[in-house]
Amino acid sequence: MDVQVGSVVTYVDSMRVPCHALVQRVWPREGGKPSLNVVFVSGDANRSDSYGRQVEHATSVPHKDDQAAPGGYWFE
């Protein structure tokens, strides 16, 4: 899959909860998968307003192959 703006990927947040995310920006990386800026619907049911569940953003998110931590990464 060639990741580009508008692609849908799986983002795993810092609490290790996966969700679908929309790619807003692709940060190319020579010799590996790019880092991404993504937007996603909050997994926290308490984060809602008159529009529904709030959206959250994550920036410079590395691919799972490049992340040693158990969360804060994306994959296809």
Give pLDDT tens digits along the chain (76 positions): 699 999 999 999 988 999 999 999 999 999 899 999 999 999 888 999 999 999 999 999 999 999 999 999 999 9
Measured distance CA(58)–CA(22) in Å, rounded: 10
The H or E element containing residue 75 is strand 73-75
Q: Is 52 left (phi over 0), alpha (psi -120 to 50) or beta?
A: left
- What are φ and ψ of residue 25, in 5° steps? -155, 140
How far lies 41's CA from each of 11, 17, 27, 45, in Å? 11, 12, 22, 10
- Model pTM score: 0.91
